[in-house]
Structure 1
Amino acid sequence: MTGKRRVPPTSRIAEFPKAAADQARWWERHILEVQHGLPPDAPEGTKPRPGFDPKRHSLAQRERAKAAELTAAGHQVSASGIKQRHQRYQRDGLVGLADGRSAKQMQAFGQVDPVVVEAMRQAIAETADASSRTIGFTLWRTQQILSGREETAEVELPSRATLYRLFDKLAVGTHATGSARTRRSVGARPSGPFGEVPASAPGELMQIDSTPMDVLVRLDDGVAEKAELTAMVDIATRSITAAVLRPST
């Protein structure tokens, strides 16, 4: 068994607090040694340490060996605790090893300072009755709003790429860079009963929607009819987890 890193799909570990992300990566190294016999950065040709060779020791034995090793090093953990982390890692990847309490504390916009979010909301709102603006103008205006307030004048802006991603989230449905007429029309609508619910981990929030397909399909009884496509989307990863094509869903 080689020491190459075999990592299940992960999602948004960079949006966890740094301490939680670093801890998850620390655990990943130990879990991969339990799983494959070698840590991910082991040089080619390295042999597993005693107690971790998959050819000589069962998975349960390797989990007990890792629990004993970490406990001796001052990290109190049981074999069942190692097993649970191993299962979460196989199911959720690196995110599965992060402290779940940290995930609950994550802001809807990752690590972006809330005052930056508030300032950009204001900059976007100001475009409702103005002529069309570019994203660059909105970013500039956001910085002006922050610098114009004594309590936020020293706030450090995130990278330009992060600001663009923040704009994409905040500007959804506002037509901030589109038609001024459409923007004013949208702004005049009454507030709807629904809002955006952020999702920070795979499977936390799923959405299902159906749409008619503009094609005819021949059914089992020989009748030609239009079909509907129903799909389930995972909000955190923006991936389609299930889909079905039927005459009626």
Structure 2
Amino acid sequence: MKVFLIGGFGNYISQVLPFYGNKNVEFVVCRKSIFLFGMWTIHTNKLEKLLLEHLSVIGHTVYEDYEFSFFHKLFFSCSRLLKANIFGFCWVSNLNNVDVKFLSGNVAGYFQRKCDYYPANMLKLKSNLENFFNVKKVNTYNTIHIRLGDMNSIKSSVYRNVYVNVLCRNTSKTYIVTNDKNRAESLLHFSNDLLFGNCVDAVEDFSCLFNSNLIAVANSTFSRWAALLGNAKLIIALRSEKLSIEKSSFVFGDELMSRYSLLLDKDIEFYEPE
């Protein structure tokens, strides 16, 4: 069975976890859209490549230069629209309605809804990632992830209250991981005890999040997977209602973040500004 990986690193983790360690599953990197309609920005950088290398090491076959034909796009698009298997091409929107053991052919999906297959593989992937990123000790810095997209869709003041909450409890410098350093500096102009991540190197930024003691996460699979699978003892997140997330079904909604945090022996605080 071929599983098509779509998006960036956080999405990759969501798509890999249900099949992690199953040597019969091959992973295909999508460097361009697999759909005729509803295009998705698809990319790979150094961080995604490290994950792909790891998948190869543990026995998965990984295709990075897979040739897509018009028929690939047609069949995946039809499967997505008709919610059916079309000539061996299957778009899966909800893995909880599907037994992954019986999937075959060509499979794709964002897999970011509630999924009972995640917990079974989380501890195994967490252990492997710790070795993979050569974790030696927990970073004593607190870390805040500031993502440009959140600043465009959500009032900056809402997130700013979360940042203030983190900065006020911190006795040392705070590490900022962001793809918009100028916006982050303007939001946090009241604090001088800040260190900024590379802002270009995703490996360094993810490693910083992965090795932190406390993480204030963004509405982002990138920082939320780092918080869950990394060394963080405390995770701070906005309540789902503030992010327009379906809290009962989304992978990182309140209910499931709490469930996964308990599984991974972490504390989580849901912050709700007045």
Same-fold call, TM cutoff 0.5: no
Q: Which has the higher contact order (CA 8 A, sep 6+)?
A: 2
Greater strand share, structure number: 2
